[in-house]
Amino acid sequence: MKYLGWIISIVLIIVIYYTYKTQYVPIKTDLDKLEEEIAMWENVLKGEKGMDGTRDRFAIDRFFRDDRLSPYGEVEILRKFDQNYTELEIYISAPHAITRATDVIAFLADQKLVYENFTCYVVIDSIERFEYKLVK
């Protein structure tokens, strides 16, 4: 009985380590590869089009409510999507990304925010992300 606490502690450490190696590490590795690939494609596009600009993210939980733009999201678009730039790229990723993209594009049209080139990337996956890049 006096070693029962040590045995339980060792078993818990082994379970936590096993979970870390089998669950977290593979996901983190895949995420790192995807971020490298995105950076690589951005560099390719910069070389082809002479693009410059930085990618920024919005807080998803405040930006959308029920896959519709929240008032916070509308204010952030109006505040940050500067028309002095010629191009706008939007990246939307979520389980219902098409619905969200439709709402964002409709809002941009309603506000008469027009860019020479507008690109909207819609990716349907489990990771929620809303990013944009303004290009001069």
For 15-52, how does the pLDDT look when each residue is reduced to its tens digit (9 = 90+)? 999 999 998 888 888 888 888 888 887 777 665 555 45
Q: Comparing C-alpha atoms, which of 125, 116, 66, 132 is closest to residue 97? A: 125
Question: For residues 64 and 74, what is the distance between their CA atoms, to the nearest angstrom?
Answer: 10
- Considering the segment(s) 52-136 as one domain, its CATH architecture is 2-Layer Sandwich (3.30)
Structure-block tokens of residue 126: 């489990």
Please state, in angstroms and rounded to a whole number, the distance separating the CA atoms of residues 32 and 55: 17
Contact predicate 119/90, CB 8 Å: yes
pLDDT digit string (tens) for 61-92? 778 887 788 888 888 888 777 777 777 788 88
Rounded CA gap, 49 and 52, in Å? 9
pLDDT value for 14: 95
Please state the pTM of the whole predicted model: 0.54
pLDDT at 105 over 70: yes
Q: How far apart are CA 1 and CA 30, in angstroms?
A: 44
